[in-house]
Structures are given as structure tokens and as C-alpha cells.
Amino acid sequence: MINTPMGYAMQVAMSQYGLSEWTGIEHNPEVMKYFHDIGHKWVKDDETAWCAAFVNWVLKYSGFIGTGQLNARSFLKIGRELSLEEAQSGDIVVLYRDDPSSWQGHVGFLAHYDDNQIWILGGNQGNQVNITKYSRSRLLGIRRATEDLMQGEEDIMLNV
């Protein structure tokens, strides 16, 4: 899968595995780079919800254009919609948080799934980048980044 564009996105995301927020008044500059590299330099702390910043950052470093937004549900509007059965590792998974009709959500990359659970590689999962399982009942949508979301080679940031 690494030889596909979304496989490369998974490789980029995995390169960040284990990175976490810092407790206290200091903020992890590696978490802050997710915000700053996608244009949100106004964010000053690693306590700001960063799952969408992480996905946008991974997409950017993988040669894709993300949403640029910091809300998880913004990813429901990009790429191609998929059913869970069509989905592959690296596709973008959007979940609801608390209430399916609220604006809140969570976003990450599909690692795998079974009859009851979805494992997501994402940021801000227990305040770190990791693979966490979630109930399939929280699933709002799965999207695949498509060619129209690919950046030109000159736009790709290659120094992960």
C-alpha cells in the first residue's frame, strides 16, 4: 500500500507515531508545527484540538491539499465518499464526538476495522499520535483523497 498516494500518507502519519502534547505551560513544538505548517500560526498551545491539523499536515506532506480547516467534519466534503467495505488503509475516517448532529468530531486515517470497531491512526488521540479503536457506530463518513486534491511537485513539503 505504500506505493499508492494514500499509502504514502500513512507512512508520513506513522513517522509521527508516539508524538504527544506536553503537560504544563510548555507546548510541544512538534505538535505546534501541525498548526503552523498548514497556516494556523495564531494557535499558541498544544491543548487546542489538533486531530484535523494533524490530518491536514499529513496530507500536505504527502502531496495532497487538505481542507485547511481545524474542524474534523470539514473532511466530509473532500475527495471521494466510500463505504467502510470499500475503504482501504490510509483513507480518511470522520467520527462524531458526543452527538451525531453536533459540529464536533474526530478525524484520522483508517488503519483497519472489524464488525464492531474501527482502528484509526490519528493525532490528538489520548493527546498523542497513535492507533486507537473506536466504535463503528460513531462513523460519519470515509473519504479518499483524489487526484483533484493532489498538489504540484513544487508545492510538496518533503522534509518530514
Q: How do residues 54-112 score in pLDDT, each as one tens digit? A: 999 999 999 999 999 999 999 999 999 999 999 999 999 999 999 999 999 999 999 99
Helices 51-61 and 5-14 pack at an angle, to 10 degrees, of: 120
**How many CB atoms within 10 Å of residue 138?**
16
pLDDT of residue 149: 72
Is the pTM above the cut of 0.85? yes
What is the arithmetic mean of pLDDT over 119-146? 96
In the chain, % of residues over pLDDT 90:
81
Per CATH, the number for 5-148 is 3.90.1720.10
Percent composition of the chain: helix, strand, coil (DSSP 3-state, to 5): 30, 25, 50
Domain ranges of the chain: 5-148
Q: How do residues 21-33 score in pLDDT, each as one tens digit? A: 998 899 999 999 9
Nearest to 20 by CA among 92, 104, 127: 127
